[in-house]
Amino acid sequence: MTKSRRDVLAGMMALGASSATAHSSGHPQRGTVERWGVHELVFDGPADGNPFNEVTLAAVFTRAGHEITVPGFYDGEGVYRIRFSPPEIGSWSWRTTSNRSVLSGRRGAFECVAPRAGNRGPVRVVPAGFHFAYADGTPYRQIGTTSYSWALQSDQRCAETLRTLASAPFNKMRMCVFPNVASVATQPFARVGPGPRDWDPARPDPAYFRRFEQRILGLAALGVEADIILFHPYDKVRGYSDINGADAERYLRYVAARWGAMRNVWWSMANEYDLIKNKSTEDWDRLFQVLQAADPHDRLRSIHQINTYYDVRKPWITHASVQNGSAVKDDGRAIIHRLFALKPVIFDEVCYEGNSTARWGNLTGEQMVERFWWGTIAGTYVGHSETLDAGRQPDTSWLGQGGTLRGSSPPRLAFLRRILEQAPRPGIDPLQPFWDYHMGGKEGEYYLTYFGEARPTAWPVVVPGRGLPAADYRLDVIDTWNMTITPAAGAFHLTPRDPYDLHAPERPSISLPGKPYLAVRLTRI
């Protein structure tokens, strides 16, 4: 086993990994892997010709009649791998198929055991709803960030980014496979000449993808989802995102086989897809279908736009990933995204905290946090990034290269995350959204309202509650910027006021401190 092979395995141990090298003797090693970990099979095979194109390899994993076919991939130097993340505990067996006899008919078995603490499985969409949960049922409350090319920076800079994330509130990172700003790793495909476009799309460079997967695993160790952006329109010089047709499909199959078993992987087909001029909507549709078919682990899939919203009701889209600078300046606008999507909505780009001269990169920390709160009470999720000193060339901001965070929003987003962790399962939904209550939660159980920049000095205790019985509630005044939660003494007895609302006749109103960025929370006792 080469050095690089050991590296991969060491990194994957964080996911609860095991490996087996099946020899042609037919007596494979047996291993043990935890549920939702990675079981990797490693084989020696042909290195001649173009293995990426010419060699097919897959394994059928079987447990109690449940069969999953998992494609393998070529890792260079005559090494082939198949990575599988078992969804169920128990005894799994496997058998390979290949168009090369040396790789075909290999077989083996392993035990899948209960996951260790901290392994909650992959994030899934809660069926027929607007929220996410880990496979073990724990709600996943998305607080995202974006650092497009952090993973392509030096090992030292990447380590710095991971240290930053270790104490940051973010549980999802959006990141590009191909570079968009100055980077250390810039060659995902084999070089065939001196020019920027002299690369062979039929030959992924395993070292590039191996390096990238170490970053994915670094995020996994921190409990951060890796939202992997597969195409983007920014690199006009090298033009990696211009690959189309069979080249694009091979690339998608490669990353699906290589990374799909890692439980923190999400697929973002593209950033600002509608700026990539050589792909039509039909191309994107086909690429999604190729990716879906190539990914037996069925990771989350979406796509990010600049102007033209992709049709997120298409069956291969698991959630909306939206860029819109004004959609979360108001819960009402965010809510409409849910009405159209009928799926979870993440506002992955809502402008950034920073000091850029470009209008998309100069939010104050207060504005950044406000967007998260409007999105929250609308039952949607929001993403952060930072463009402080974005005017410097090369772009060394968090958005471009990662590193450290200097903005004022992250501590407040950590505060929001703690609030969300106490909110109902699977998540906050907007309450009677056609009637502008500006309130999320769950009727009769939990109410969260937010006032944005307004500076209220009082709030009438009225909440939607059609047909609900009277009940007692706890009330908290939340200062979302100063990060304080002030409980009101005693209970509020909420009773029906009219066909639509509950009110508190004995305590009809509460006083508020007349500051911006306040919220009020009611929780049934």
- Regarding 482 and contact with a copy of itself (CB under 8 A), the answer is no
How many beta carbons lie within 10 A of that of residue 332, not counting itself? Answer: 15
3-state secondary structure of 164: helix
- Regarding 324 and contact with a copy of itself (CB under 8 A), the answer is yes
Q: Rounded CA gap, 361 and 370, in Å?
A: 15
- Regarding 339 and contact with a copy of itself (CB under 8 A), the answer is yes
Q: Is 90 left (phi over 0), alpha (psi -120 to 50) or beta?
A: left
3-state secondary structure of 151: helix
Strand partners, 113: 34
Q: How far is the CB of 441 from a copy of itself (least distance, A)?
A: 18
- Regarding 340 and contact with a copy of itself (CB under 8 A), the answer is yes
Scanning 10-18, 223-231, 332-340, 454-462 for contacts with a copy of itself by CB under 8 A, the matching segment is 332-340
Q: How far is the CB of 332 from a copy of itself (least distance, A)?
A: 5
- Regarding 134 and contact with a copy of itself (CB under 8 A), the answer is no
Q: Show the site string, 47-86: x = touches a copy of itself by CB under 8 A, - = not.
A: ----------------------------------------
Which CB, 278 or 326, lies closer to a copy of itself? 326
How many beta carbons lie within 10 A of that of residue 133, not counting itself? Answer: 21
Q: How many CA atoms lie within 13 A of 304 on its CB side?
A: 26
Q: Rounded CA gap, 473 and 471, in Å?
A: 7
Helices 245-259 & 281-294 angle (0-180, nearest 10): 30
Q: Answer yes or no: are the C-beta atoms of 117 and 411 closer than 8 Å.
A: no
Which CB, 158 or 327, lies closer to a copy of itself? 327
Q: Residues 311, 421, 472, 506: which binds a copy of itself (CB under 8 A)? A: 311
Q: Show the site string, 376-405: x = touches a copy of itself by CB under 8 A, - = not.
A: ------------------------------
For a copy of itself (CB under 8 A), the number of binding residues is: 24
Is the dihedral angle over the CA atoms 250, 63, 131, 407 positive or is it negative?
negative
Task: List the structure tokens of 99.
Answer: 């168009």
Q: Residues 6, 163, 313, 392: which binds a copy of itself (CB under 8 A)? A: 313
Residues 424-463 that bind a copy of itself (CB under 8 A): 433-436
Task: List the structure tokens of 198.
Answer: 């002299």
What are the backbone dihedrals phi and psi of residue 504, each rounded to the nearest 5 degrees, phi first?
-125, 85
- Regarding 500 and contact with a copy of itself (CB under 8 A), the answer is yes
3-state secondary structure of 414: helix
- Regarding 301 and contact with a copy of itself (CB under 8 A), the answer is no
Which CB, 97 or 432, lies closer to a copy of itself? 432
Q: Rounded CA gap, 465 and 501, in Å?
A: 5
Q: How far is the CB of 2 from a copy of itself (least distance, A)?
A: 49
- Regarding 326 and contact with a copy of itself (CB under 8 A), the answer is yes
Q: How far is the CB of 38 from a copy of itself (least distance, A)?
A: 37
To 5 degrees, how large is the angle CA 285–CA 291–CA 292?
A: 90
Bond before 394 cis per omega within 30 degrees: yes
Which CB, 238 or 329, lies closer to a copy of itself? 329
- Regarding 280 and contact with a copy of itself (CB under 8 A), the answer is no
- Per-residue DSSP letter, 433: G
Which CB, 308 or 484, lies closer to a copy of itself? 308
Q: Residues 359, 393, 467, 489: which binds a copy of itself (CB under 8 A)? A: 359
In this structure, which amino acid lies at residue 246?
A: A
Q: Rounded CA gap, 31 and 524, in Å?
A: 49
Q: Residues 125, 336, 471, 491: which binds a copy of itself (CB under 8 A)? A: 336
- Count of helices and strands (H, E) across the chain: 10, 34
Q: Residues 308, 404, 482, 511: which binds a copy of itself (CB under 8 A)? A: 308
User: Which residues of the chain form contacts with a copy of itself (CB under 8 A)?
Assistant: 308-309, 311, 313, 324-327, 329-330, 332-333, 336-337, 339-342, 359, 433-436, 500
